[in-house]
Amino acid sequence: MRRFFAPVENFEDEHVRLDADETRHLRDVLRLHVGDEISVFDGEGREFQCAIHETGKKSSLARVLQKIEPSSPESPIEITVAATMLNGDKYDLIIQKVVELGVTRLIPMNTIRCDVKLKDGEKRMDRWCRIAMEATKQSGRAKLMQISVPTAFEELIADPEIQNPVLFSERDGADFSIVTADKNITALFGPKGGWDDLELAAAAWAGIGIITLGGRILRAETASIAITAILQHRFGDLN
């Protein structure tokens, strides 16, 4: 079945309304018709088998037939990825892949050697959310990954709401054995030029564990994806 998204507020009684973008995809790209069955997820973990009831220019209506299980269940561990913003489409790749890997939240981060300013990152939020949406559809998840507003590194490490933070660095860190996780973990990834000495000192002063993976030099985007996969393997359901 083709998958579509509708926020919780678009579900009413036994019907769900799809917005203009989803309607255009349903009608003009997939060429579906009244009576065809689709699945609709609400971004909060629920998914439903539905039948198209009517289509219009700006919206369409589907009748809810039954609740179904998403093909990709949520991980038992909530992983937050705080990844330094990158130029070009490299950050798009990170967003797509961490959605596929079951990450709960992404925090675009500005660091000393970051190539993207905070205000420029804020302008890319709509694009990043669209990429996350498409990745959610394709990966079978029914829960949308939250994308926070771009945040400066020094603000992030001082935030008391950040749970179980671990910083991954190409140097000056311990091995992976110091990583512990219960239900939450926050993984911090640096820019393509690596962390600045001041940032590593600030992280250590804040009590954040620093991990160095020996034997490999990874690009910034590779590190975010590969280490997230390792975290899901060790603490989540990727096994």
Q: Are residues 63 and 151 in the same domain?
A: no
Give me the pLDDT at residue 193, please: 86
The CATH number that applies at residue 58 is 2.40.240.20
Map 118-147 to HEC letters.
Answer: HHHHHHCHHHHHHHHHHHHHHHCCCECCEE
Give me the pLDDT at residue 217, please: 79
The answer to whether residue 213 is domain-embedded is yes
The answer to whether residue 73 is domain-embedded is no
User: What is the percent of the chain where pLDDT is above 90?
Assistant: 85
- Of residues 237 and 62, the one with the higher pLDDT is 62
The answer to whether residue 200 is domain-embedded is yes
- What is the three-class DSSP state of 220? helix
Structure token pair of residue 150: 């771009």
Q: Are residues 155 and 180 in the same domain?
A: yes
Q: Residue 23 above 80 pLDDT?
A: yes
CA 3/CA 151 separation, integer angstroms: 32
Q: Are residues 85 and 167 in the same domain?
A: yes
Give me the pLDDT at residue 67, please: 95
Q: Are residues 211 and 158 in the same domain?
A: yes
Among 49, 68, 87, the domain-final residue is 68
- Of residues 1 and 235, the one with the higher pLDDT is 235
* Confidence (pTM): 0.92
**Which structural domain, as residue segments, surrounds residue 47?**
2-68
Q: Which helix (H) or strand (E) holds 50?
A: strand 47-55
**Total domains, the chain:** 2
